[in-house]
Every structure is written in structure tokens, then in C-alpha cells.
């Protein structure tokens, strides 16, 4: 029996982890003839299957007004409470309309019950599930207790209620072992661990098909070497280490390319990085406006007369000699898997999830432990100067990931989830 599955979040657009992973889930579900539909404040999916409610976006002015008054404060004004409740009630009605319009049979909530960037939406989903008893899956990418910016707040009652809720009709999915243990300890609810995945069963096209004009279009000259930082520009990504690496390499051929936008945490970090790169004599380019999600339905990504050429992440990985991944914290690490998929060698900071969940699998990468050493830099230099070693490392990592992080892992897990919801095999 086919299900009509409604994905719900604040945003399904761009190259953030939630947008990318939800697309992978949808792709696997469609293999079993389940239809996917999308509810969010920003959506880059098929319009025929989308229900866009601007107020559901975390950056909507009303939600921004609320956030300014609940984070970093320990009490809240009654007016704030009323506006939270009013927005939650409105969003709940739009969710009902979404469910009715597309005849949704199962909800998959992507991070909207995990990290409280949109408290009214979390409340709306929680109340909707209680009132409708609609089967649902909460896919948790990161929790509020993992972020210091949420530690001082005026909504502890609402966090306890909805992030995530204890609801018997709700199945919980986490992406790493630590999150599974913390969720059990804090909320007393079981969860299934499903790591981030990629379609390693279908390797990317051969590198010879890559567009050779891409480096030139990005401002690189002949002989320049692209070092790729394929993450959002937020402090926990540790991009200052990538700048320091290029500086210590001391070769003007090496150019640092940063692919993603600053996101929801402001622009101060981006400005600091730009100043740091300038002072260090490092050529760094932010190209977020030229990168698109390959699952986007916003149109062709070829250039037009009045706009620059847009690229998918895959096109950029094919031209990278090295990926820098110096994150201080990650829920899992989409960029890690992407680099492995495109067989690009990496420098990785040993963040907690990497150390516990990923490193024991046997990947070959250059690692740093919180800071760059001369030895790490020389290992990177040797790698950049040895194409054979880079190729060997890329092939090894692809084979390891094929065993542990392929779509086959996701297929088995989603089959289990749907079976748990319906009680009988449906997929």
C-alpha cells in the first residue's frame, strides 16, 4: 500500500543538511511508490507537491520578533506568550489544510521538533499530533541542548512540551549515537539511529565529464588549486582553521572556496573570516549565491544573460583537490559524505561524532585535534602534491562508505519505520 507522506520543516531549500537529507528520504520512499509532499516557509520542490506558508520560515519577521525576546532572557512578557500562541494556532490550521489538501497519511517532521528556531511551529506540530493522532516520524538532526545559544531562555516550559514531545504516535529518528543516548536520558523516549547517507550504489559520473570552465568562472587561474570548504558559514564549522591551513601552506596557487551561506546565526562570523583571510594573504571566495541544491525545482542552473552561472555541489567537488572539514561540532557530517562520494581527500577536525561514529569505520583522512600543527600542514602539502595518493585515498573511502552509509542502509531503516507505523509490511 502506498503512503502519502508529508514532510514538514521551516525550510526545504538550499544546501543545508535538513533540505538535503529530506530529499534523500523522499527519493528512497518514492522507490516504493510512496508520494512526498512538502510544507515549509521556504520550499524549492515541485510546486504541485508543495504547501508554502511564509510564517513557517524561521526568518519570518514575526518569528524573529519572538526569538529576540525568548533567547538570552529568563522571563517572558505575557504579550510574547500571546504572540507565540497566536502564531502556533495559525500554523496549526495551515498544517491541517496541508494534510487535507494532499490527503497526507504520515508526517515526517524534519528538525522542527528538535532545535527551537521556530517555537510556534514546534508547538503547532505537537498540538496537531495530539489532536489528530496522525502517525508521524520526527527526524532529529540536532537538539537545543547541543547549542549554547539556547541555554539561556524564557521558554523552558515550551521546550519541555515540544522539543521533542513525548507522543505515542511519534517515532523518533536521530543521526548519531550521542543524540540517541541524550534523547533517552532527557525525554525517556526510544529512537532509531539512521546516519546521513548518499547513493553510493550509483557513483557520480566520471570526472572527465566535469565542466572545465568552472575554476575559471570562479576566478581561478590556470595552475591554481581549489581547496573546498563545503559548509555553512557559522562558527561551529571552524573555517578559521581552513584559512590558517592555506596561509601555512604558503603557496599562492591554493585558493579557498566556501560554498554555503551564513544562515541563521548572523553575518559577524563571515565578516571576521573575510578580514582574517585578507590579513593572512589568503585568497578566499564565498560563492553561496552560485551554488544550488541538485534537488531544487527552481529551474535550470545554466547561466542567463543577466545572472552568473549556478553550480551544484557535485560540480564543485569534481574540481577540488582537497576538502577542509575543521568543524568543532557536527550532528553527523553531510559534507564528509559528499567529499567521500566524489572521492576528494579531506582534512578533518576530530569532532565528537566523527571520533565516535565515523572514524572507527576505517576512513583514511588527515586529522587534526582541535588545532593545526606543522606536521598536519606538511601531511596536507604532501597529499596535494601527490595525485596518485589522492586517488588511492578517494577510492578507499568510497568503498568504506558504500558499506556503511549507502541508500541500502536508509531503505532498511525506512522500511522498519513504516512497518512500525502501520503494523504490517507496506513497502
pLDDT of residue 308: 66
Cis peptide bond upstream of 164, omega within 30: yes
Specify whether 113 is located in the same domain as 171.
yes
- The answer as to whether 369 is a domain residue is yes
Specify whether 58 is located in the same domain as 162.
yes
Tell me: the pLDDT tens digits for 253-287? Answer: 999 999 988 766 778 999 999 999 999 999 999 99
Specify whether 111 is located in the same domain as 247.
no
Number of domains in the chain: 2
- The answer as to whether 11 is a domain residue is yes
Q: What is the mean pLDDT of each run of 10 residues along the chain (427 residues)?
A: 94 86 94 95 96 97 98 97 98 98 97 97 97 95 92 97 93 95 95 94 71 84 94 93 97 94 80 96 91 54 57 89 94 91 96 94 96 96 96 97 94 90 58
Q: Helices 374-384 and 387-404, interaxial angle, to 10°? A: 100
- The answer as to whether 385 is a domain residue is yes
Tell me: the pLDDT tens digits for 161-206? Answer: 999 999 988 999 999 999 999 999 999 999 999 999 999 999 987 6
Q: Helices 407-422 and 17-31, interaxial angle, to 10°? A: 70
Residue 316's domain spans which residues? 207-404
As given in the structure block, the three cell numbers for residue 270 are 563571515
Specify whether 191 is located in the same domain as 262.
no
Sort 415 into a burial class: Cβ within 10 Å, 0-12 / 13-18 / 19+: middle
Q: 81: domain CATH number? A: 3.40.50.2000
pLDDT of residue 207: 54
Distance CA 329, CA 141 (A): 12
pLDDT of residue 300: 43
As given in the structure block, the three cell numbers for residue 105 are 497519511
- The answer as to whether 427 is a domain residue is no
Taking alpha carbons only, the member of 345, 313, 324 closest to residue 228 is 324
The whole model's pTM is what? 0.85
Which DSSP category does 251 fall into?
Answer: -
As given in the structure block, the three cell numbers for residue 66 are 519572538
Which DSSP category does 201 fall into?
Answer: T
Amino acid at each position: 500500500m502506498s503512503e502519502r507522506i508529508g514532510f514538514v520543516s521551516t525550510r526545504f531549500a538550499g544546501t543545508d543538511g535538513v533540505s538535503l537529507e529530506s530529499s534523500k528520504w523522499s527519493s528512497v520512499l518514492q522507490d516504493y511508490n510512496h508520494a512526498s509532499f512538502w510544507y515549509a516557509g521556504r520550499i524549492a520542490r515541485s510546486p504541485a507537491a508543495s504547501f508554502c506558508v511564509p510564517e513557517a520560515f524561521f526568518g519570518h519577521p514575526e518569528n524573529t520578533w519572538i526569538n529576540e525576546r525568548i533567547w538570552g532572557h529568563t522571563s517572558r512578557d505575557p504579550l510574547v506568550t500571546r504572540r507565540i500562541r497566536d502564531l502556533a494556532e495559525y500554523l496549526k490550521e495551515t498544517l491541517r489544510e496541508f494534510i487535507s489538501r494532499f490527503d497526507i497519511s504520515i508526517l515526517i517532521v524534519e528538525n522542527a521538533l528538535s532545535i527551537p528556531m521556530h517555537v510556534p511551529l514546534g508547538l503547532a506540530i505537537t498540538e496537531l499530533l495530539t489532536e489528530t493522532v496522525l502517525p508521524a516520524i520526527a527526524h532529529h538532526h540536532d537538539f537545543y541542548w547541543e547549542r549554547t545559544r539556547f541555554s539561556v531562555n524564557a521558554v523552558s516550559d515550551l521546550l519541555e512540551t515540544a522539543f521533542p514531545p513525548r507522543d505515542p504516535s511519534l517515532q523518533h529518528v536521530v543521526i548519531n549515537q550521542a543524540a540517541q543516548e541524550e534523547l533517552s536520558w532527557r525525554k525517556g523516549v526510544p529512537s532509531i539511529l539512521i546516519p546521513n547517507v548518499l547513493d553510493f550504489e550509483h557513483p557520480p559520473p566520471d570526472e572527465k565529464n566535469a565542466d572545465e570552465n568552472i575554476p575559471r568562472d570562479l576566478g581561478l587561474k590556470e595552475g591554481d588549486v581549489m581547496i573546498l570548504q563545503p559548509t555553512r558559514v557559522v562558527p561551529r564549522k571552524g573555517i578559521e582553521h581552513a584559512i590558517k591551513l592555506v596561509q601555512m601552506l604558503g603557496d599562492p596557487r591554493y585558493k579557498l572556496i566556501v560554498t554555503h551561506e551564513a544562515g541563521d546565526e548572523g553575518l559577524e562570523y563571515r565578516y571576521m573570516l573575510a578580514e582574517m583571510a585578507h590579513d593572512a594573504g589568503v585568497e578566499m571566495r564565498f560563492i553561496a549565491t552560485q551554488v544550488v541544491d541538485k534537488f531544487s525545482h527552481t529551474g535550470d542552473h545554466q547561466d542567463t544573460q543577466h545572472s552568473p552561472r549556478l553550480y551544484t555541489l557535485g560540480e564543485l567537488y569534481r574540481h577540488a583537490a582537497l576538502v577542509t572539514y575543521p568543524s568543532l561540532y557536527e550532528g553527523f557530517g553531510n559534507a564528509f559524505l559528499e567529499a567521500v562520494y566524489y572521492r576528494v581527500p579531506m582534512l578533518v577536525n576530530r569532532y565528537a561524532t566523527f571520533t565516535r561514529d565515523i572514524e572507527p569505520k576505517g576512513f583514511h583522512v588527515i586529522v587534526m585535534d582541535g588545532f593545526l600543527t606543522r606536521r598536519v600542514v606538511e601531511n596536507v602539502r604532501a597529499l596535494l602534491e601527490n595525485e596518485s595518493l589522492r586517488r588511492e585515498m578517494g577510492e578507499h573511502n568510497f568503498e568504506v562508505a558504500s558499506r556503511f552509509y549507502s541508500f541500502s542502509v536508509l531503505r532498511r531503516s525506512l522500511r522498519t519505520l513504516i512497518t512500525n507505523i502501520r503494523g504490517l509490511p507496506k513497502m
